[in-house]
């Protein structure tokens, strides 16, 4: 019998007799389970319950909320293996390991969830005196928005959900979460476990496709919207929010460029470039999607990368030793396949390794390197969001900078080289929310993160991230 997974409102499972949708194992194509779809009335009830629970949660002291967030971290640690297994089955990340040979897979994702809880519990945003003289004193206070709508994606379903949930709770908000319909089961299991630690109604989850997310962001009781996903969907959410002047934090698509300078050591940077491009099978917003390499070391970099690509085992995510898994869903699999095939058929590039879907069940596509492409080619200009890396030669550093900046996305970027003065100079010219030097995608819970241009607005992480899920009130006192 196919298991059914229900959504949670007020700490209670809801969904019996509701319409359901299927969740598929991307490695096998088999049915993992059916998830109850929330109706508009269910979404409204989740918001009502959250609104009712929020004042009591906000009334707790800062220290009490911090201690609860620490309990969330401990709960995630106690249930990490169970949740990692769900991520591996449902999202497709290999389990990986934690240690000197860590593979950034499902166990890594759960470790990151714990780290973000612990760091947010350690931070606080006290009242701040911003001005004082003999005549007046001005203080800035931070207050919760109330109910926050959080919409999480399928690529890092638990980690990004935690990025949204935990800062919001830390600042006294209640949350209604809508996970991706592709990865709802792992998220429901996580929320079910976390809800046992939290007061009823403080964290709720509703499940379904885009119409459920639309009902959530359109609810007039929502105080702020947090969304991670595509630029197209983010644009629609921004339009809805603008009608009610509701603040948003949008972390949207990226087509991150990496620039390898002439003095870079191909062997020394190869592993960093590899994981910068292929973490989570390339299904990460802030990973390398375009690699610009100076002509003098182009072939050496391609050689080093191809050696790594060929050595990485692709297969069953639940098998120990697997490094790479499938693409998560059919839609993304078809897009990656189309981009690579069109590039080859049009004679726009040369496949160094990979290039064709792997035989058998599941959405397996091999790690693929493509050279001989240039700006304007679809494989370069479109965010492929998969295990494909186009490598573009350049002659002058100024040309590479212009190429990196030419698109309308700006989530992340990186520069690779040995001269700290030159790498810093190039980094300062790349248009992205975060520019890494000799690393890529190295987000940290203490460091603000967010995009520019059509990659979104607002910041997450650290004190700035806490401030972003709270409103500002100035108390100005005349002496």
Catalytic member of 113, 117, 285, 287: 285
Rounded Cα gap, residues 215 and 236, in angstroms: 13
Q: Could you say which of 90, 189, 251, 383 is catalytic?
A: 251
Using a 10 angstrom Cβ sphere, with 0-12 exposed, 13-18 middle and 19 or more buried, the burial of residue 133 is: exposed
- φ, ψ (nearest 5 deg) of residue 48: -60, -45
The structure tokens listed for 212 are 């459920």
3-state secondary structure of 61: coil
- Quickly list DSSP for 135-202: SEEEEEEEEE-SEEEEE--SSSHHHHHHHHHHHHHHTT-EEEEE--TTSHHHHHHHHHHHHTTSPTTS
The DSSP call for residue 394 is E
The continuous run of DSSP H or E covering 116 comes out as: helix 106-122
Cross-strand partners of 212: none
Asked about 139 being catalytic, the answer comes back as: no
The answer to whether residues 397 and 261 touch, using CB atoms and an 8 Å cutoff, is yes
b/e map of 304-335 (b: 16 or more CB within 10 Å)? bbbebbeeeebbbbbeeebbbbbbbbeebbeb
Measuring CA to CA, how many Å separate 388 from each of 158, 245, 253, 278, 325? Answer: 24, 39, 16, 8, 14
285 a catalytic residue: yes
Positions annotated as catalytic residues are: 251, 285
């Amino acid at each position: 019998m196919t298991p059914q997974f229900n959504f949670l409102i007020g700490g209670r499972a809801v969904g019996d007799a509701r319409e359901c949708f299927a969740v598929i194992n991307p490695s096998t194509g088999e049915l993992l389970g059916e998830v109850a779809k929330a109706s508009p009335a269910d979404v409204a009830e989740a918001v009502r319950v959250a609104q009712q629970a929020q004042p009591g949660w906000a009334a707790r002291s800062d220290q009490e909320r911090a201690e609860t967030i620490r309990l969330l971290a401990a709960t995630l640690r106690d249930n990490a293996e169970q949740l990692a297994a769900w991520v591996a089955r449902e999202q497709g990340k290999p389990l990986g390991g934690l240690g000197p040979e860590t593979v950034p897979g499902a166990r890594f994702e759960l470790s990151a969830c714990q780290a973000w809880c612990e760091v947010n519990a350690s931070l606080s945003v006290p009242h701040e005196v911003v001005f004082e003289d003999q005549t007046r004193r001005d203080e800035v206070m931070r207050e919760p928005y109330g109910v926050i709508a959080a919409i999480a994606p399928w690529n890092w379903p638990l980690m990004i959900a935690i990025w949204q949930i935990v800062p919001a709770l830390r600042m006294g908000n209640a949350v209604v979460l809508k996970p991706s319909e592709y990865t709802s089961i792992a998220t429901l299991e996580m929320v079910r476990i976390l809800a046992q630690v939290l007061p009823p109604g403080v964290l709720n989850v509703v499940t379904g496709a885009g119409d459920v997310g639309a009902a959530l962001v359109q609810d007039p009781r929502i105080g702020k919207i947090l969304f991670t996903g595509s630029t197209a969907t983010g644009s629609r959410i921004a339009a809805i929010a603008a009608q009610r002047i509701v603040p948003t934090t949008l972390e949207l698509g990226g087509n991150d460029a990496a620039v390898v300078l002439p003095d870079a050591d191909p062997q020394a940077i190869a592993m960093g470039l590899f994981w910068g491009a292929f973490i989570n099978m390339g299904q990460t917003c802030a990973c390398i999607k375009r690699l610009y390499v100076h002509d003098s070391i182009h072939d050496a970099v391609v050689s080093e990368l191809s050696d790594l690509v060929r050595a990485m085992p692709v297969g069953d995510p639940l098998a120990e030793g697997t490094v790479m898994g499938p693409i998560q869903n059919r839609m993304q699999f078809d897009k990656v396949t189309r981009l690579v095939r069109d590039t080859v058929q049009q004679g726009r590039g040369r496949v160094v390794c990979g290039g064709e879907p792997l035989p058998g069940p599941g959405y397996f596509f091999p790690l693929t390197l493509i050279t001989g492409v240039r700006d304007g080619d679809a494989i370069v200009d479109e965010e492929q969001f998969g295990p494909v890396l186009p490598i573009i030669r350049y002659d002058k550093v100024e040309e590479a900078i212009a190429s990196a900046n030419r698109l309308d996305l700006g989530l992340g970027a990186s520069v690779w080289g040995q001269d700290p003065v030159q790498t810093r100079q190039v980094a300062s010219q790349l248009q992205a929310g975060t520019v890494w030097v000799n690393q890529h995608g190295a987000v940290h819970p203490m460091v603000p993160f967010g995009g520019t241009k059509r990659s979104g607005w607002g910041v997450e992480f650290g004190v700035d991230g806490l401030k972003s899920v709270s409103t500002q009130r100035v108390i100005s006192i005349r002496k």
